[in-house]
Amino acid sequence: MTKPISEPRAGKPSRKSGPTTDVFGSNSEIARKLKQYHDELLSLEVPERFAELLGKLEQAEHAGKTSSEGKAEG
């Protein structure tokens, strides 16, 4: 059973949201772990397939352009 939680109102204009460390305030352990969790993901090696994919997309686009040019000329 879940009790409906109404979406809190946006509330009074709070301070400008800039860098967000203050959100976590006293819970710096959560902030730290979140960063650590994210850094770990960022540091994963990027598989070749993505660079290959972009290479293919670029080639396809280039080929498309040249061939349509060719047609226009011919």
- Indicate the DSSP class of residue 15: S
Min dist CB 73 to other proteins, Å, is 14
User: Which residues from 7-46 bind other proteins, rule CB under 8 A?
Assistant: 7-11, 14, 17-18, 20, 23-24, 26-27, 29-31, 33-38, 40-44, 46
Q: Round to whole Å and give the CA distance between 3 and 30.
A: 26
3-state secondary structure 51-64: HHHHHHHHHHHHHH
How many residues bind to other proteins according to rule CB under 8 A?
Answer: 43
Residue 72 touching other proteins (CB under 8 A): no
Judged by beta carbon, residue 36 or residue 67, the one nearer other proteins is 36
Give the torsion sign (CA, 28, 32, 38, 41).
negative
